[in-house]
Homo-oligomer: A and B are copies of this chain.
């Protein structure tokens, strides 16, 4: 019982060994992360179409719940760019931004995501995330980055625009571009340029000035805080809000409120598919970050427990005014680099954010949204990596097709269509590849007991014997292929008396393939041709033994292919391949 509790609540494990040293390291990390998270949380809430405080609320309860249930020591949970975009896409279909219905739908989406993640964790369904191939994820993240960056241009131009696909966004921008507010544009462009410079130029500069690498790193990450501070000050000082510069405005001074998601069956049904996609994308993003950081310290991540941790975090977001969250790359890396030792660092960060929510929100009243948009643009453009197209093109056409389709469909039809199509396509391409496995007709390398492809090597063959080596497991997708192949091969060579299937690369034979083998056996028997197997692996043979196939087999099972050759071609003469 206690073991079960401990399995699902990892805090009981590391919490008992918590000491003063770990405490002070966690505390320092928490302060750094808190400062960095404030502008980021406000910005992602803006991206999700929610009021700015939602981003802060979504960082508090989720962080604490993840600290209790998660297994990663360094993962920082909260709003992230891609999930915020997916939230906007899902919720935007059912309510107008800024309405009560919109916020309610976002809470409901978080609740559904949390429930899905929790169920997946309890039933140990973490493997479902594996159905997303790396190229599909890479393509999806790149396309999302482009969508997010272009969706933020409206804030930098100071205009109202919308759209969930690239065409819609660009069309909307072009329609409204004449309404551009020049001062907003200046703020937006300066902030963007500054943030790009911080990313590219500040770190080398600091290093040159003699700063340590860790300090230089953290100073670089603090760029958005500086941009927020300066632009807020400028707007307040110069009274730019009266000149049409959009500002964040009133943010309630309050701890995260208790909120109630909707349980309307209609809303739940509408949001089910988006919630599933958000859960899986969020899980994949989170687990890769967690794995990368854990590996550096030889720590272990339990993917199924991670699902439970993220599920709890999302349920927490649903009931405390947030929206769907996951483990973010940028914030986790800061947390890790700042020296966080245990999930307690997350809890301290949550406290810092809670204090900020209560005490500091008036300070962001004059913060221009253009600055927040600039932080988003600069952050997401680092996600855009079109080199994946070139890399996959060189390595495998199937992977290239999957990544290209995912990018185009995400840009053209939005995030949900893009990622779904990517998954379906990569599974389809995999099945297609295995549906036409490599099959080599083999012959004996003279003077040895080895068998090689007759088309590539000078080997001995026998006119009455055909030996086929199948380089793939036999299962339903390629079962008929094998039937056709053998039927055609036998129809060609009417002198053939025996067919040997060499099974050294066959890791499995499923029921469909078994029936195909039975059909092949019956058809060959009708023609007076023997069917033999060789080099069948142990587990495959164990399965075949419980069926009638071996009794009905119109031939033998040979342990080694050479035994088959000796038995079937040895007695008669053999001829060298021309």
Stretch at the interface among A6-14, A255-263, A470-478: A470-478
- Could you tell me the distance between the alpha carbons of A342 and B196 in the complex, rounded to whole angstroms? 75
Given A426-B476, A438-B539, A490-B298, A398-B510 contact (CB < 8 Å): yes
**A97 interface residue per 8 A CB criterion:** no
Binary contact track A472-492/B, C-beta < 8 Å → 1, others 0 = 110111111101100110110
Measured CB to CB, the closest approach of chain B to A529, in angstroms, equals 10
Given A476-B130, A476-B133, A396-B298 contact (CB < 8 Å): no
Contact with A543, one of B396, B430, B435, B523 (Cβ below 8 angstroms): B396
Is A130's CB under 8 angstroms from B491's CB?
no
**A18 interface residue per 8 A CB criterion:** no
- Could you tell me the distance between the alpha carbons of A484 and B395 in the complex, rounded to whole angstroms? 24
Residues of chain B lying within 8 A (CB to CB) of residue A431: 131, 427
Measured CB to CB, the closest approach of chain B to A425, in angstroms, equals 12
Stretch at the interface among A151-159, A201-209, A372-380, A511-519: A511-519
Given A130-B481, A436-B127, A472-B135 contact (CB < 8 Å): no
The interface size of chain A toward B, counting residues with CB under 8 Å, comes to: 73
Residues of chain B lying within 8 A (CB to CB) of residue A483: 291
Integer count of this chain's copies in the complex:
2
Measured CB to CB, the closest approach of chain B to A551, in angstroms, equals 14
Is B472's CB under 8 angstroms from A433's CB?
no
Contact with A511, one of B133, B432, B487, B515 (Cβ below 8 angstroms): B133
Measured CB to CB, the closest approach of chain B to A143, in angstroms, equals 17
Residues of chain B lying within 8 A (CB to CB) of residue A432: 127
- Could you tell me the distance between the alpha carbons of A399 and B295 in the complex, rounded to whole angstroms? 38
Among A289-307, those with CB < 8 Å from B are: 291-292, 294-296, 298-301, 303
- Could you tell me the distance between the alpha carbons of A478 and B133 in the complex, rounded to whole angstroms? 10
Measured CB to CB, the closest approach of chain B to A133, in angstroms, equals 3
Residues of chain B lying within 8 A (CB to CB) of residue A510: 133, 396, 398-399, 430
Contact with A296, one of B129, B132, B526, B543 (Cβ below 8 angstroms): B526
Is A472's CB under 8 angstroms from B507's CB?
yes
**A571 interface residue per 8 A CB criterion:** no
**A134 interface residue per 8 A CB criterion:** yes
**A171 interface residue per 8 A CB criterion:** no
**A391 interface residue per 8 A CB criterion:** yes
| A490 closest partner in B (C-beta) | B298
Measured CB to CB, the closest approach of chain B to A68, in angstroms, equals 23
Is A507's CB under 8 angstroms from B508's CB?
no
Is A130's CB under 8 angstroms from B478's CB?
yes
Can you spell out 26 A-B residue pairs with CB atoms less than 8 angstroms apart? A127-B435, A130-B481, A131-B431, A131-B476, A134-B511, A134-B512, A134-B515, A135-B512, A287-B480, A295-B526, A296-B523, A298-B527, A300-B487, A303-B480, A392-B511, A396-B510, A399-B512, A430-B475, A430-B476, A430-B510, A434-B473, A437-B507, A438-B539, A472-B473, A472-B507, A505-B505
> Closest 4 interchain pairs by CB?
A133-B476, A134-B512, A399-B511, A295-B523
Q: Residues of A at under 8 Å CB distance from B?
A: 127, 129-136, 287, 291-292, 294-296, 298-301, 303, 391-392, 394-396, 398-399, 426-427, 430-438, 471-473, 475-481, 483-484, 487-488, 490-491, 494, 505, 507-508, 510-512, 514-516, 519, 523, 526-527, 537, 539, 543, 546-547
